[in-house]
């Protein structure tokens, strides 16, 4: 069975109408989003996708960024039944979450994770290492998809550690960020030349057609892949 998987940091300050327009056209079976909020009716992506027939799991955490306090988190949306839902807080200092959905696809269970690690400004950060290590401990060895905004580049130790147990579906290391420089005033990016977003699979899952999608709704670009179970 083939499934289209989509991952996207929709940006808490993104252009929500464009986010909705893209998601409605995506035809994805399973979607992992980051920077989702559930306390703003004007940015209610949960309700939008729920109305389109997606089941979901969402987990938020309060954290600071740029001197402001935010409460947002990752989510998973599925056209297939979610049998079990879990929310994992990955660290105490700068709380970031991972959500887990056990999704029934035919007679098999697919373990899907969506996460958003702390921003390290493309530098080594101990808190990010802690979050990644705690996330690695949660991953089943088979029928597993891990996706999200890892805030880490392909040459970072964080991504190398995930690569020891999972397969990166993007073999070309295509850049996914930043469409808008204001997405990170500290980093001050000037071009879309950095990869921070990933879709990993366990070694028993075959994937093809990895794609960096086109949208100007967020400072991140959506990414997708087709998997075969």
- 118: confidence class by pLDDT, cuts 50, 70, 90: very high
* Cα–Cα distance, 31 to 112 (Å, whole number): 10
Q: Residues 173-196: what's their mean pLDDT?
A: 93
pLDDT over 90 (residue 125): no
State residue 175's pLDDT score. Answer: 98
Report the greatest alpha carbon distance in the chain. 48
Q: Residues 191-205: what's their mean pLDDT?
A: 97
Which residue matches tokens 């990166």? 168
State residue 1's pLDDT score. Answer: 86
pLDDT over 80 (residue 167): yes
Whether residue 88 contacts residue 97, with contact meaning beta carbons closer than 8 Å, is answered with yes
State residue 142's pLDDT score. Answer: 97
Strand partners, 115: 98, 148
State residue 21's pLDDT score. Answer: 98
User: Tell me: the pLDDT tens digits for 9-65?
Assistant: 999 999 999 999 999 999 999 999 999 999 999 999 999 999 999 999 999 888 776
* Cα–Cα distance, 97 to 72 (Å, whole number): 9
State residue 71's pLDDT score. Answer: 86
Query: Which residue has better confidence, 71 or 192?
Result: 192
pLDDT over 80 (residue 6): yes
> 53-67, 85-99, 197-211: which has the minimum mean pLDDT?
53-67
* Cα–Cα distance, 10 to 181 (Å, whole number): 15
Sketch out the chain's domains with CATH numbers.
2-228 (3.60.10.10)
* Cα–Cα distance, 209 to 146 (Å, whole number): 17
CB neighbours of residue 55 within 10 Å: 17
Which residue matches tokens 């397969």? 167
């Amino acid at each position: 069975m083939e499934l289209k998987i989509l991952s996207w940091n929709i940006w808490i300050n993104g252009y929500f109408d464009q986010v909705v327009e893209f998601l409605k056209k995506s035809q994805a079976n399973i979607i992992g989003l980051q920077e989702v909020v559930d306390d703003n009716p004007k940015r209610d992506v949960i309700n939008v996708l729920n109305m389109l027939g997606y089941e979901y799991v969402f987990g938020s955490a309060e954290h600071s960024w740029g001197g402001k306090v935010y409460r947002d988190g990752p989510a998973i949306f599925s056209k297939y039944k979610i049998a079990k839902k879990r929310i994992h807080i990955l660290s105490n200092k700068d709380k970031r979450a991972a959500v887990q959905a056990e999704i029934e696809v035919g007679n098999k269970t697919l373990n899907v994770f969506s996460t958003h690690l702390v921003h390290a400004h493309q530098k080594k950060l101990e808190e990010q290492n802690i979050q990644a290590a705690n996330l690695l401990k949660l991953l089943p060895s088979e029928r597993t998809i891990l996706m999200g905004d890892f805030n880490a580049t392909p040459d970072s130790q964080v991504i190398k550690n995930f690569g020891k147990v999972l397969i990166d579906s993007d073999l070309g290391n295509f850049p996914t960020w930043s469409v808008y420089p204001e997405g990170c005033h500290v980093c001050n990016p000037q071009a879309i030349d950095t990869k921070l977003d990933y879709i990993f699979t366990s070694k028993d899952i075959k994937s093809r057609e990895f794609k960096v999608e086109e949208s100007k709704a967020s400072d991140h670009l959506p990414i997708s892949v087709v998997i075969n179970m």
